[in-house]
Structure 1
Amino acid sequence: MTDPAVPPEKAIIVLGCPEVPVQQALALYVASGLRDRGLDVLVTGNPSVLGLLKVSDPKGVYITKTFVLEMCIAEIVEKKRDCTLCIVFAHNDAAIAYAATMRHLLPGSRFIVVIFGKDPEPLAAEINFPCETITEKAVHNPAQLKAKINKVLGWAVSRT
């Protein structure tokens, strides 16, 4: 049981463009798992990806808070928002650039970059900042990437 006097740890999940189907499924999965573990979770990304998540979770069961990425970055810069955990989903160069920005703005946070898509290895090689990385060739099937996420986050038992 959590102490109501102690605010929950905060997590930010950063999503890239919704071109790769596994991102949406894994974002819902990770957000649900973090919330189950007592974290206050914010999902940020462009309006398209946030719209897809809202359609996929219309009652807000898995994702209760969303925010447009540029506005989230502005609030972090202004010290209005922070987190203890930041997870960035990346399948293109733009997402790696956003990951670098978030890493710079959140130096004290645990920082994980999930790199996926048809050819994730070259993207992983672009990372030149301190972070944990999870890399897997994944476009339509999230199973292997989900297993790696479970391991990195310390979730001993795979959730269904």
Structure 2
Amino acid sequence: MPEEPTHRAALLVMGCPKVPVQTSLVLYLAHRMKKAGIRTIIAGTPSARQLIRVADPDEHYTMEMKDLDATIAALANGDLPITESYVFIHNDAGISYAATIASLTHRPVTAIIFGEEAEQISHEITFPCTVIAEPAIHNPIPIKIKLEEAAPWDA
């Protein structure tokens, strides 16, 4: 069982950055978490991390960024204590990441599902998690509104 974190530590997981809204939503959630004093770790594919680095070069919104595969290994080894995860999903691989993280951490997972097939993908989730789904591709506002309603930074 992973070590218990002493403070809130949120993991934000990004897969392939094919759908444009992912980058802005990750930055928005990281900003809100950071502002609330929550340690925020962004894990993603190399290209997803590069988009975040370019969008936030002075790290105003980001705290830590890690390779996605290395992060999963650290979670499996119990070397990365987290209190919650937010997995950005637009395809089956995203569902696999969310299921893996839920299984490894036994902590709350929120699946943030976007893209043209968001509703269909949301029905493929068969493990316990909170689901926020919206068929957003270019406009992040509908998911941003749902995140604000959930307000995970206030929990």
Normalised TM-score (structure 1): 0.90
2:90 counterpart residue number: 91
Residue segments in structure 1 that go unaligned for 5+ positions in a row: 1-5
Output the CA distance in 2 between the equivalents of 1:35 and 1:55: 19
Higher relative CO (Cα under 8 Å, sequence separation at least 6) belongs to 2
2:54 is matched by which residue type in structure 1?
V
1:20 counterpart residue number: 19
Q: Deviations over 1:24-83 (max 9, x none)?
A: 001000000001111000000100100110011001110121000100011111111021
Normalised TM-score (structure 2): 0.92
How many equivalent pairs are there? 150
Identity of aligned residues (%): 37
3-state SS of paired residue (1:126): coil
Contact 1:113-1:133 at 8 Å conserved across structures: yes
1:139 to 134, 137, 140: 137
Residue segments in structure 2 that go unaligned for 5+ positions in a row: none
1:67 counterpart residue number: 66
3-state SS of paired residue (2:60): coil
Contact 1:11-1:83 at 8 Å conserved across structures: yes
Q: Deviations over 1:88-109 (max 9, x none)?
A: 00001111111110110111x2
| Larger-Rg structure | 1
Dislocated runs of 4+, deviation >3 Å:
none
